[in-house]
Amino acid sequence: MKAHWLKVSLFLLLAGVAVAVLGYWLMRPRPVAVRVVAVEKGLVQETVANTRAGTVKACRRSGLSPSIGGQIVRMPVKEGDRVKQGQVLLEFWNDDLAAKLLLAQRQMKAAQAKANQSCIVAENAAREARRLQELQRQRLASEEATDKAVSESRAARAACEAARTKVEVSRAQVKVAEAALERTRLVAPFDGIAAQVNGEIGEFVTPSPIGVPTPPAVDLIDTGCIYVSAPMDEVDAARIRVGQPVHISLDAFGDQVFQGKVKRIAPYVLDREKQARTVDVEADFLDAKVTRNMLPGYSADIEIILEQKTDALRIPTEAILEGNKVLVPDADNILQERAIETGLSNWQYSQVVSGLTEGETLVLSVDRDGVEAGALVRVENQED
């Protein structure tokens, strides 16, 4: 009987130990899976970026409209056509002005002929006057005849000058007629693409009244020169300088990044939105060839490099917690919080001035649940 109770007691004891071990195993803290990264040396850049999306713009873009009204009789370009400088984009009915120009040209031709006639007469009169003056010196011609010949020569020369002046007046009248005729034609001031064409043959067009904006007849864009304009926060504007390097990215080109430089900083602040004052900054592409397939109007972002170091101790910026702290696993894989001092920084990397040494590892996935100081962790993978 005693041996039986001894066996029961031993069984209960072993069962209790097993339950305790099972309970401890079930209740033990489970390690949190984390990603870690090693502290390394490399390039760190301090940058600023635009507050709102920027825009790809053409260096030259003109909304062209005729300066006078009229009826459209010719419109040889369509939207999307590439045009050359001086090419006619639109023409009004101008038969009357063409006739006036032809009349002015004929009048100028007649005036030239009249001037030639008058000048020939003046040359003959001058020769006759010189001949009589020579005869008078030889006492073979009277003084009265000589004076008359000299006077007639002067009058003929004056008539020649008057006729030549009338030719100049006729030439000016031709230019006036040409200018009037030219106002009926809208021509391209530079090579470009007709982005928008408003009007049809037969329509009557009138100039825009003062203070009343109307769509241009032709919106001409020079796509041979492209740049980016983007709004920068007024807080960052004071540190931006012309010539600073720029990284340019466009939504239309995915993750591709283009190199550029700051070419202009607006000398004024815009307050288009409340509590959001910005300064427009323009950036050029360093390689003009990359802009061949870019269209004005694309959205774009610029990242201006204010300062950089090529051999700085750096860590990913996303690994830094509020208060400039990072989480470092110890030898037992328990996370320890450590304060660091940072230098240059951008969205990708931050320079470590103190608090970490090269080769140490720290937690990169700080946004996961359970990742905090004192937590037991399990390294999921190590980022280079």
For the chain, the first-to-last Cα distance in angstroms comes to 70
Q: So what's the pLDDT on residue 378?
A: 86
**Is there a contact between 220 and 61 (Cβ–Cβ < 8 Å)?**
yes
pLDDT, tens digit, 9 for 90 and up, residues 171-190: 999 999 999 999 999 999 99
pLDDT of residue 19: 56
pLDDT of residue 143: 82
Residue pLDDT, tens place only, 135-149: 888 877 788 888 888
Burial of 374 (0-12, 13-18, 19+ CB in 10 A): exposed
Mean pLDDT of 1-12: 61
What 8-state DSSP symbol labels residue 28?
S
Q: How far apart are CA 146 and CA 129, in angstroms?
A: 7
Q: 183-204 burial, b for 16+ CB within 10 Å, e for fewer?
A: ebebebebbbbbbebbbeeeee
| Sheet with 32-38: strands ordered across | 361-363, 32-38, 377-383
Give the mean pLDDT of 259-284: 86
**What is the band of 9 on the pLDDT scale with cuts at 50, 70, 90?**
low
User: Alpha-carbon distance 272 to 280, whole Å?
Assistant: 12
* pLDDT score recorded for residue 275: 62
Contact 129, 149 (CB under 8 A): yes
Residues forming beta bridges with residue 158, ordered by sequence position: none
Give the model's pLDDT for residue 175: 95
pLDDT digits (tens, 9 = 90+) for 51-68: 888 999 998 888 888 888
The pTM of the full predicted model, rounded to 2 decimals, is 0.63
Window from 32-36, 244-248, 314-318 with minimum mean pLDDT = 32-36
Among the listed residues 74, 149, 158, the one whose alpha carbon sits nearest the alpha carbon of residue 115: 158
Q: Cα separation of 223 and 81, whole Å? A: 12
Average pLDDT of span 104-133: 90
Is 174 in contact with 101 (CB distance < 8 Å)? yes
By percentage, how much of the chain surpasses pLDDT 90?
40
Maximum pairwise Cα distance, the chain: 187
| pLDDT at res. 382 | 58
Beta-bridge partners for 74: 91
Q: Which amino acid is at 172?
A: A
Lowest mean pLDDT among 55-69, 205-219, 233-247, 253-267: 205-219
Dist. CA 342–CA 229, nearest whole Å: 31
When pLDDT is cut at 50, 70 and 90, the band that residue 273 belongs to is low
pLDDT-derived band at 26 (thresholds 50, 70, 90) equals very low
Give 170: exposed, middle or buried? Use CB within 10 Å, 0-12, 13-18, 19+.
buried
List the single range of 49-53, 61-65, 210-214, 377-381 with lowest mean pLDDT. Answer: 210-214
Q: What is the reported pLDDT for 284?
A: 94
- Report which residue type is found at 255: D
Q: Which one, of 157, 92, 152, lies nearest residue 128 by Cα?
A: 152
Mean pLDDT over each residue of the chain, to the nearest integer: 86
